[in-house]
Structure 1
Amino acid sequence: MPQSDHNPITGGQLVINTLRALGADRVVGLPGQHALPLFDALRGSDLQYYGARVENNAGFIADGAARTTGSPVPLLLSAGPGALTALPALQEAAAASSPVLLIVAQVPESGIGGGVHGFLHELYDQRAHFRDTVKKTWSIRSVDQVIPMITQAWQTAIAAPAGPVYVEIPYDVQIAVEQEPIAPTRAIEVFPTAPIVPNQLLNIAADLLAAAKTPRIYAGGGVVRSGAAEALHAISERLQAPVVTTFGGRSSFEWSHPLSAQGWIEDIDTTEFLEEADVLLVVGTGLGELTTNYFTFRPKGKIIQIDADASVLGRNYPSLGLAGDAKETLTAISSRLEMRLPSADPERRQRALASIEQLVAGIHKRIDAQSLQAEQQLIADLRSAIPDQIGTYWDMTILAYWAWSAWDARGGAFENAQCGGLGFGLPAAIGASFAGINGDNPLGTPTVAISGDGGGLYSVADLASLAQENLNVTWVVFDDGGYGVLRGYMDAAFGEHVATDLAVPDYVALGAAFGIKSRRVEPAELHDAVAESISSQGPEIIVVPVAIELFEPTHLNREPIL
C-alpha cells in the first residue's frame, strides 16, 4: 500500500481545524465521554478555550461572546443530557439573533435515528430536540462531511437574521482516522448573506416616509445586530423623526441625541406616542408582547416593518413588510430619501422635539408620583458608575425590568434575557469578557452582570470557572430573599404569593469560597463599590440587600389584540 506524505488526522481534529480555518479564535465547552476526541483535538490547536461547569451556563457564555463579536462562537458539548441542558440558553440566543455554533457529540452512529442499543447518553432522536430552537441542524455521518457541514453551519449562523445552529458528530466519526490530505490548509472564506428587498418596495417605503407628517421610528435588536446605528441616525435626521428603542435596540440610538424618545416601552404614553405616527418605521423588532405593551398597541397610521426574518412581518400588525438586513435596507431607504427630501424641515424638527419633551415629562411625572425614588436612584447610581464603553448583562430581576425602560445605554452593550429565562446575566458577562481577551486585556474586557438572588442561583456553578480564569467581571446581586418579580405578580393577581420566598446563600461567603473578592454594600454605597470594582483587576461580587418595587403597569385598562 503506498505511503502517504501526510500525517493522519482524526475526525475530531478535522472539526477543530475547520473551525480555525473559518476564523474561530476561541471556543466554549464542557467535556463529556462522547465528546472527548473533540476536546483532545483542542490540545494541538491555538483556539482559546473557556471551560464552563454547567452546560446551560456554557450556552449563555457562548451567547455573550457571540453578541459581543458578532461572529459565530463554537460551543462544544457532549451527548444526551449534556446537550439538552443547553436548550434554554439556545432559546435566548435565538431570540437575540446570536450566532452560537453548537457542536455536540453523539453516541456511535449505530445508536442514532432509531437504532436503539442502550448506549450511555443515547436519545431516540437527539437532533429533533433542537430543530424548533435553532436555525438549522446537521448530523455528520462521515469524516468527509466535516468540512462542508461545519462550513455550511457557520454560514447559516451569520446569515441574516443571525442565530444559533446545531451540528452533531458521532463518537466513531470523531475517532475515525483519515489518511488523505483533506484538512483545510488555508482560511475558508464565508460571508454573511441577507434577503434582498426589491427596489419597488424600497421606493414605496421611501415615498411613504417622505410624505409623512408625523413619522416616527421604533428600533429593535435587529438594528444592533446588523450594525445599523449610523443608517438609523441618518434616516432620523433626514425625516426629523423621533426614535423609540426597545430593550434589544437600546444601544442603537443614544438618549443624548435630541431626537431620542428614549425607551419606556411599557408606559402608555410611549405606546400612544408610537400610535400617533402617520407612518411608523419599525426596524428589527417583531412587535411581540413586550414591545407592544402587552399587545395593547393600536397604530393609527401606516407601518413599514423591516426585519431579516420574513415570518415576523405583519405577524401581529398589518404593514409594508421589507424582508432584509436592517443596515442594508435602512441605507437603501436613506439614499432614496436624500433625493426626495434634499433638506431637513426645521419646523418639523421643532414639532418633533416638542413632542419628545412632552412624552418624557409625562412619563417621569407618572413615575415620580409612585414613591419610587429609591429604585430610580439605584438605576442612576449604576449608570453613573459604569463607563459608557462597558457592557451590562441583565438577568431576569426587578431592576432589569426597570432597565428595560430606564437604562440609557449610551452606545454601550445592553444585553438581557429576551425570552425570560433565569441565569443569563453572569455567564453572558463572562462570555463578553472572554471574547475581549487579547494582549492588552489578558483578563478580558471589563463587564458588569446584574442579577437577583433567586436568578443568581442558576449561575453559581460557574463562579468556579470565573475564579479559574480570573476575568474582569463585576457581578452585582440584588438580594430581596426570593423571586421578587413573581412575588409582585402573584400579590397583584391573587392577593398573596406562594413559592417565591427563598432561602438563598450568603453570596459574600459563597464568593469567598471560590476565592473571588466579595462584599455586601448598602444601596447608598452601590455607586462607589461598582466603580471601584470595574477599575480593579479580576472578578468581584457585590451584594446589595434591598427590596425593589416595580412601577405600576399602564396597559391594564386596554384590551389586548391577542
Structure 2
Amino acid sequence: MTHAHHGPELIPPPAPTAAALSPPPGRTGGDLVMETLHGLGATTVFGLPGQHALGMFDALRRAPMAYVGLRVENNAGFAADAYGRVSGEAAPLLLSTGPGALTSLAALQEAAAASAPVLAISSQIPVAGLGGGRHGYLHELRDQQASFRDVVKSVHTVRTASQIPTAVAEAWQSALTAPHGPVWVEIPADILSAETSLPQVTAPDAFPEEPAPRPELTAVAADWLGRAERPVIIAGGGVVRADAAGKLTALAERLQAPVVTTFGGKGAFAWDHPLSLRSWMEDRHTTAFLEEADVVLVVGSGLGELSSHYGTFTPRGRIIQIDADLGKLEANYPALGIHADARLALTVLLETVPERTDTGAPDRVAATLAAIRDRIDGQGLDTEQRVLAAVREALPDTSPSFWDMTILAYWAWSAFDPRQGAFHSAQGAGGLGYAYPAALGAAVADPTRPVLAVSGDGGALYSIAELATARQHDLNVTWLIVDDGGYGILREYMNDAFGTTTATELSRPDYAALAAAFHIPATTTSVEHLATDLAKALAAPGPSVVVLPVHLRMFAATHEESGEA
C-alpha cells in the first residue's frame, strides 16, 4: 500500500529566486547602494569622492547611472537641489565623512527651505569607531548625524550591509513625500567596501505620499470662498512643486479672485493674466490690497518673512491656508489650516466652490499694478529696470533661470516675468553661491534648453571652481555675473543702517579672463549691449560667461508717504 504525499511539492525555484541564490561575485556594500538607487528610478547622481566613500564610488563605476562630479560639496548639493526641482526625482548626493559631509550643509539647508528633494548619502568612519569620538579616525565626528538632524527631513542610519536597501528606499520615500526635502543616509566605510553575498536588489518599494485634504475643512473653505465679496489668493512655491498651476488658474477664474505669487511661487500664475497681481510682495500697495480682502486663500506658502512683507501684513479678513508642511500651518497667522498637497486641495475646491461674477476685480488689479509702477518709476532707477528688461529679452521663454542673493535677483523676485520657464532663487535659506551650481544641475536634468544663472561678483566667487564642471560636462549654462566690486546689497544695508560700510568691498578679478582660463567663452558687456550679448551667449551650445560691470541699487520697498524705510 502506498501512502500519498501531502507535503509541498519540490519544484525548481523561479528565475528571480535562482538569481538571488547566486549573486554575481565581487559586489560590495557600495553595490547595494547603487542597485537600490537604480531600482528606485535614479538616473543621475551628484557628489564628490573622499577616502571613506571610495567603496561607494567604485560601485558607481558598475552602475547604469550618470555621475556629475562638482568641485565643492556645497555646490554639488545645490546642483542636486536643482536637478530634483526640474526632474521630480530625489537626486542622490554622494559625500564623504566629516569635512566633505559638513561642507554640504548650507546646500541642504536651502533644499529644506525650498522643499527640494535631495537624497544625501554619506560615508561614516568604520563601525568599530561609531559612538566613541576617541578613536582618532580621519574625518571623525563624535555624532555626525547631529550636524544634519536639524537641517534635513529625516536621518537614516546603516550599521550592516543588509540594512542598506531599506534605509535608502525609506530615505527616497521621505524625500519625495510632500513636503519634499533633503534626507540623510550614512553608511560606515568598511560596510561600503566589504564584499557581500547578499542578493542583488530588485524592485525596492518606496511610495511617496501626498496628503489629501480633510473633507470637512474643504467644505468650510468652499463656503467661505463662495460667500466672499473680495476674495484674493496668495500662491506659494507649493503650487509650483505640486504642478498645480492649472488648477490654481481655474479656481481663480471661477472665483474672480486676484492672485499674487510669492517669490518662491513665481510661475504659479500667468504674469499677464487680468487677475494677476504678479509678485510685488515688498510693496505696500500689494499689502494693502491683500488686507482689504474678506477671505485670503493661501496655497503652498507659510506666509513667512518675505511673503508677509516682513510681518507688516495685517489681514482684516479670514485666512484659509493650504500647505503640505504641517509645521507651516498657522505658524504665522491664525487660519483655517488645511494640511494637504496643493493639487489635491485645489481639485476639491474646484468641485465644490460656486462660480462668482465680479467684473470689477481686473480693474482693481490693474489700478494696483499702475500705482506700483508709478512708485517705482519715481525712484530714478532706470538702469536697474533696463538691465532686468534686457535679461528678459535675451532669455528664451521656456528657459529656466537661477538667481543668487544679489540686487538684480531682488529686483527679479518682484519684477521678472518667468513666462514658461521656471524661476529659482536662493531665497529659501538665503545663502550665497546658489545660482551657478544649481543651473548646472538643471542643465543636467534637461539638456534641451539653455539655462541662465545670475550672480553678483560676491556670490560668483563661491562658485568659480564649477566652471571646470561646466566645461567637463559641456553643460548649456550661461552665467551672467553682475560685477560691482563687492557685496552690493550688504553695502546698501550697512549704509542705510550705519551710514558707512565695513567688509563689503572685494578685490576684482577679471572674470572674463578667468572664464577663458577654463576654456569657456566669455564676454564683458554693458547695459546698452547686454540683451544682444546675453542672447548670443544663450544661443551658443555649451557653457558661457557674460560679465556686466555696473552698480545697481534696490528700489524702496514701501510707500514714501508712509514714512517707512
1:497 and 1:56 map into 2 onto residues whose CA distance is: 28
| 1:37 and 2:41 aligned | no
| 1:476 and 2:480 aligned | yes
Per-residue CA deviation, residues 334-378 of structure 1 (Å, 9 max, x unaligned), is 1111xx33xx41xx0x21111101110000000000011111111
Counterpart position of 2:180: 162
Out of 146, 169, 190, the residue aligned to residue 206 of structure 2 is 190
1:139 and 1:430 map into 2 onto residues whose CA distance is: 30
Indicate if the aligned counterparts of 1:253 and 1:411 stay in contact, CA closer than 8 A.
no
Per-residue CA deviation, residues 23-54 of structure 1 (Å, 9 max, x unaligned), is 00000010000000100011111201101000
TM-score by length of 1: 0.95
The one-letter code matched in structure 1 to 2:506 is: L
Counterpart position of 1:291: 307
1:180 to partner: Cα distance: 3.4
- The within-5 A match list for 1:244-393 is 244-337=260-353, 340-341=354-355, 344-345=356-357, 348=358, 350-393=359-402
1:283 and 1:504 map into 2 onto residues whose CA distance is: 43
1:5 and 1:554 map into 2 onto residues whose CA distance is: 70
RMSD of equivalent CA atoms: 1.5
Indicate if the aligned counterparts of 1:222 and 1:326 stay in contact, CA closer than 8 A.
yes
Indicate if the aligned counterparts of 1:4 and 1:179 stay in contact, CA closer than 8 A.
no
Indicate if the aligned counterparts of 1:283 and 1:326 stay in contact, CA closer than 8 A.
yes
| 1:143 and 2:153 aligned | no
The one-letter code matched in structure 2 to 1:353 is: P
Indicate if the aligned counterparts of 1:76 and 1:102 stay in contact, CA closer than 8 A.
yes
The one-letter code matched in structure 1 to 2:475 is: L
Indicate if the aligned counterparts of 1:294 and 1:555 stay in contact, CA closer than 8 A.
no
Per-residue CA deviation, residues 402-451 of structure 1 (Å, 9 max, x unaligned), is 001001111311000021100000000000001124xxx4xxx4100000
Counterpart position of 1:120: 138
Q: Secondary structure at the match of 1:544?
A: strand
Indicate if the aligned counterparts of 1:6 and 1:179 stay in contact, CA closer than 8 A.
yes
Counterpart position of 2:93: 75
Indicate if the aligned counterparts of 1:252 and 1:411 stay in contact, CA closer than 8 A.
no
Number of equivalent positions? 543
1:263 to partner: Cα distance: 0.8
1:555 to partner: Cα distance: 7.1
Query: Which structure: larger Rg?
Result: 2
Indicate if the aligned counterparts of 2:117 and 2:176 stay in contact, CA closer than 8 A.
yes
Q: 1:5 to 1:420 in 2, by over 3 A?
A: closer
| 1:108 and 2:126 aligned | yes
Out of 437, 444, 447, the residue aligned to residue 451 of structure 2 is 447
Per-residue CA deviation, residues 78-105 of structure 1 (Å, 9 max, x unaligned), is 0000000000000110111100000001
Indicate if the aligned counterparts of 2:175 and 2:182 stay in contact, CA closer than 8 A.
yes
1:504 to partner: Cα distance: 2.4
1:37 and 1:141 map into 2 onto residues whose CA distance is: 15
1:281 and 1:86 map into 2 onto residues whose CA distance is: 36
| 1:209 and 2:222 aligned | no
Indicate if the aligned counterparts of 2:119 and 2:183 stay in contact, CA closer than 8 A.
yes
2:508 and 2:46 map into 1 onto residues whose CA distance is: 29
Q: 1:70 to 1:4 in 2, by over 3 A?
A: closer
- The within-5 A match list for 1:53-64 is 53-64=71-82
TM-score by length of 2: 0.94
- The within-5 A match list for 1:537-548 is 537-548=541-552
1:113 to partner: Cα distance: 2.1
Indicate if the aligned counterparts of 1:293 and 1:555 stay in contact, CA closer than 8 A.
no
Per-residue CA deviation, residues 66-85 of structure 1 (Å, 9 max, x unaligned), is 11112100000100000000
Counterpart position of 2:254: 238
2:109 and 2:92 map into 1 onto residues whose CA distance is: 16
**Structure 1 stretch displaced more, 307-316 or 392-401:** 307-316
5+ residue gaps, structure 2, are 1-19
1:393 to partner: Cα distance: 0.1
Counterpart position of 1:227: 243
Q: 1:515 to 1:315 in 2, by over 3 A?
A: same
2:332 and 2:395 map into 1 onto residues whose CA distance is: 37
The one-letter code matched in structure 1 to 2:178 is: A
Indicate if the aligned counterparts of 2:158 and 2:188 stay in contact, CA closer than 8 A.
yes
Out of 394, 403, 408, the residue aligned to residue 412 of structure 2 is 403
1:385 to partner: Cα distance: 1.0
Out of 501, 504, 509, the residue aligned to residue 505 of structure 2 is 501
**Structure 1 stretch displaced more, 524-533 or 482-491:** 524-533
The one-letter code matched in structure 2 to 1:431 is: G
Out of 134, 138, 151, the residue aligned to residue 133 of structure 1 is 151
2:424 and 2:154 map into 1 onto residues whose CA distance is: 24
2:230 and 2:563 map into 1 onto residues whose CA distance is: 24
Out of 14, 18, 29, the residue aligned to residue 32 of structure 2 is 14
Q: Secondary structure at the match of 1:401?
A: helix
Question: What is the aligned-residue identity percentage?
Answer: 53
Q: 1:559 to 1:367 in 2, by over 3 A?
A: closer
Q: 1:300 to 1:18 in 2, by over 3 A?
A: same
2:254 and 2:525 map into 1 onto residues whose CA distance is: 47
5+ residue gaps, structure 1, are none
1:290 to partner: Cα distance: 0.7
Counterpart position of 1:530: 534
Indicate if the aligned counterparts of 2:232 and 2:296 stay in contact, CA closer than 8 A.
yes
The one-letter code matched in structure 1 to 2:546 is: I
Indicate if the aligned counterparts of 2:400 and 2:421 stay in contact, CA closer than 8 A.
yes
Counterpart position of 1:5: 22
| 1:511 and 2:503 aligned | no
Indicate if the aligned counterparts of 1:55 and 1:83 stay in contact, CA closer than 8 A.
yes
Indicate if the aligned counterparts of 2:233 and 2:259 stay in contact, CA closer than 8 A.
yes
1:192 to partner: Cα distance: 2.2
Indicate if the aligned counterparts of 2:165 and 2:204 stay in contact, CA closer than 8 A.
no
Out of 409, 432, 450, the residue aligned to residue 422 of structure 1 is 432
1:530 to partner: Cα distance: 1.2
Q: Secondary structure at the match of 2:529?
A: helix
| 1:394 and 2:403 aligned | yes
Indicate if the aligned counterparts of 2:133 and 2:140 stay in contact, CA closer than 8 A.
no
Q: 1:558 to 1:72 in 2, by over 3 A?
A: farther
Indicate if the aligned counterparts of 2:162 and 2:198 stay in contact, CA closer than 8 A.
no
The one-letter code matched in structure 2 to 1:116 is: R
Q: 1:555 to 1:168 in 2, by over 3 A?
A: farther
Counterpart position of 2:422: 413
Runs of 4+ in 1 over 4 A off after TM superposition: 555-560
**Structure 1 stretch displaced more, 15-24 or 403-412:** 403-412
